[in-house]
A and B are shown apart, each in its own frame.
Chain A
């Protein structure tokens, strides 16, 4: 009898241990009893919302989970974890997906016809294209008494000291749009000088997130920022005191794409259907925020067509990003 009692203490301990272990597995399953498809994405709010709406309206409500990351964090996770990653499906900067595929061959081919305007590798399809631009707060511009910059180079001028915000390329690829423009226009040697001046002027306002600068411009923490063009277009239309400039160095573009992790027999078949749904059903809403046509039958709005679109001379890869990150570090 006593043995029974004393044994139960140990049993209790083991039960607590096991209960902990069980919950880990139990939570994998949604209310319907099926495993949810996990999305990892670096997309902004607007894109996430558009994708979610497409999924919800097409019968996938409650069958997925979306986890948002910064570009560098998600990039790091892809490179580090490969197919061990928790996600079933990702949306991510295209060049990252390409590099991850080269290094880890972790994605499977998409099995639907996308009808994209340009040709992309078989394992991803673009969801958005985003351009960079100079953004400024019209009210603050007046109160601080500074002029509107015409080029990215202008941001290095002493008059903008402590008044600008840019993105750090180690944290977000939005900064790359600016650095590509500088290197493309002035060559590495001159670009270094300009970027150094820009970092000096930005001081503490070198942001980790691509939308960091525009948020600081909105709240008036700074007057001018380098950010995503479409966000400024939307703010302006909403009546927020924000305007933008297409810099003389050009508006550069990055695309973000959807890809599916190849988990062998553990691959969730729903993931492919959701990817197709995002491309075929989600694009109209995505196009509203990211107004650059990517698929047959899409048209761009006049006000959303940037004044000066350009592309970088080299192919975009994670390797090139690393080079430019090192370049940027030298300018700090």
Chain B
């Protein structure tokens, strides 16, 4: 009996290991090898060449600096919003609205934010026109910082609110009773316990901004980033795969460091066992200030996003301001664009199903099997490695590995790329949810005469169905908005909406770009609402 269960687990592990070998370690190895390939055999010649050029160092400096500043600003802004949600007596309805609005940008591709910024604050932007003058130059550093903030704000916000929910609010009270002044209370009861998460948020935001491709592609202007340079080396007019490989490997460095730091921080996080929602002390002035600040931050972000919902309905910005549906009609009449819409839906659905299946079984084997510590560690490493690797690096590794094979420009390779690219979070989510289940469930099932498969669908799946839906949702939405990896992999038959936006950008077809962005948002919102509804329904049952 026992042997049986191990057999299945071992087999699943074997399939995972094989897949990881073919689709992760082999392509990465190939990329690494390519970066060391020189005319005279294996050597560090290309690295010397790239590092000697002043362009690379300048661009690397740009990327690190701008991503760093954005990360810091984002975390401060996100902290204010999260803080007013947890440590104020602002009305519940206000908190609920803020909470929902804060995560809204996640439903849109980053390349769209860039265009939204151009149409908000550009020379002919909506707000420039309303105010009568341009507030600041959007191309370059300003645009990048705004774009990165909008992009990473939801992630920082989620990290901070999650941890704040676990902070014992009684500490605030205790600190007050002990006679601490306001600032000291804040430091002792809020800031210090949160320090780990704050640093994690900064690093996470830095990592995301540093590796993002969409925002510099749209508002970078003359300021080049590593992501842009990498794209130019691989798909520019004079491609140089060797140098591209070197830059890709270099891009990996800050990513690896970021993840290692986060890893280290997670170990030191303070853990509270009992969370009691005690009263927050009254403070009308505090609530007022927090309310205003939060409203300003959130509406700032919403103002930029608002453009995405305006422009598609305007005949010809800025000359013809009449309401129209013609842009939507045009998109739906264009078989190339509807094809792209279909492809996107297909890729996202397939990735959601495939990715959820993979992360479900990987987490199951890692938490509830007896395959041995080494094998379990391998799965954890897989999770960490995929977390570290920027999408662009996976895309380039795949381009080097699978060009000329049957997989080139197929949906299969795109789906596999997405599954791997976003594997880390679903794997952790599934693992956490499996760990919460009583470890005796399977044993009980076995006594009752259930097979492994029976206990799987009678006990395990029903008890983790909420997490499964979250994972499905996560994979779907991320596949809808991603561009960095798959921009190197799509072909004429497999073009998706984000890569199409990149193509439309080249021809400055902004009406279509905004219509597609709007549709991406609508689809993601629908999926989110559906999964939320299903989860509620499950709870009722």
Contact = CB atoms under 8 A, between A and B. Distances in A.
A72 B238 CA distance: 8
Interface stretch (A19-27, A187-195, A246-254): A19-27
Interface string A118-136: 0000000000000000000
Interface stretch (A211-219, A274-282, A287-295): A211-219
A163 to B, nearest CB: 11
A209 B237 contact: no
Interface string A1-42: 011011011101110110011011101100000001011100
Interface stretch (A63-71, A151-159, A177-185, A299-307): A63-71
A77 B237 CA distance: 8
B506 interface: yes
A5 B453 contact: yes
A66 B506 contact: no
A134 B238 CA distance: 27
A73 B235 contact: yes
Contacts of B508: 209, 211-212, 215
Interface stretch (B174-182, B263-271, B489-497): B489-497
B12 interface: yes
Given A13-B361, A68-B507, A27 B239 contact: no
B237 A321 contact: yes
Nearest to A70: B506
Most buried by A among B137, B453, B492, B493: B492
A325 B492 contact: no
B354 A16 contact: yes
A318 B494 CA distance: 29
Interface in B422-469: 451-454, 456
A325 B238 contact: yes
B195 interface: no
B342 to A, nearest CB: 10
A219 B336 contact: no
A13 B12 contact: yes
A16 B494 contact: no
Given A67-B492, A325-B238, A81 B11 contact: no
Given A38-B492, A212-B508, A219 B124 contact: yes
A250 to B, nearest CB: 24
Interface residues of B, number: 59
B503 interface: yes
B139, B221, B222 pick with most chain A CB within 10 angstroms: B222
A219 B357 CA distance: 49
Contact of B336 (A20, A66, A79, A220): A66
A86 B409 contact: yes
A204 B221 contact: yes
A6 B503 contact: no
Interface in B394-411: 403-404, 406-411
Interface string A250-283: 0000000000000000000000000000000000
Interface string A150-181: 00000000000000000000110000000000
A314 interface: no
Contacts of A228: none
A10 B122 CA distance: 55
A209 B495 contact: no
A291 B364 CA distance: 66
Instruction: Pick from B232, B452, B495, B508 the residue with the most CB of A within 10 Å.
Output: B508
Interface in A198-237: 203-204, 206, 208-209, 211-212, 215, 219-221
Contact of A84 (B19, B123, B140, B403): B403
Nearest to A29: B493
B4 interface: yes
B453 A6 contact: yes
B493 A38 contact: yes
Given A2-B451, A13-B361, A66 B492 contact: yes
B310 to A, nearest CB: 16
Contacts of B12: 9-10, 13
B369 to A, nearest CB: 12
Contact of B8 (A6, A21, A38): A6
Contacts of B411: 20, 23-24, 27
Interface in B482-513: 491-495, 503, 506-508
Given A5-B453, A10-B8, A170 B492 contact: no
B237 A27 contact: no
A20 B416 contact: yes
Given A13-B15, A84-B408, A170 B237 contact: yes
Contact of B491 (A10, A86, A203, A322): A86
Contacts of B102: none
A109 interface: no
B241 interface: yes
A66 B415 CA distance: 23
B353 interface: yes
Interface string B230-252: 00101111110100000000000
A150 to B, nearest CB: 26
B236 A72 contact: yes
A76 interface: yes
B456 A220 contact: no
A75 interface: yes
20 contacts: A5-B453, A6-B4, A6-B452, A9-B12, A9-B456, A13-B361, A23-B412, A36-B493, A45-B507, A68-B507, A72-B235, A72-B236, A77-B235, A79-B239, A80-B403, A84-B403, A203-B222, A211-B508, A219-B124, A332-B222
Interface of A: 2-3, 5-6, 8-10, 12-14, 16-17, 20-21, 23-25, 27-28, 36, 38-40, 44-45, 65-73, 75-77, 79-81, 84, 86-87, 170-171, 203-204, 206, 208-209, 211-212, 215, 219-221, 318, 321-322, 325, 332
Given A20-B416, A76-B237, 17 more contacts: A2-B451, A5-B452, A9-B456, A13-B12, A20-B350, A20-B412, A20-B415, A27-B410, A28-B493, A45-B507, A75-B238, A80-B234, A80-B403, A204-B137, A204-B139, A204-B221, A325-B237
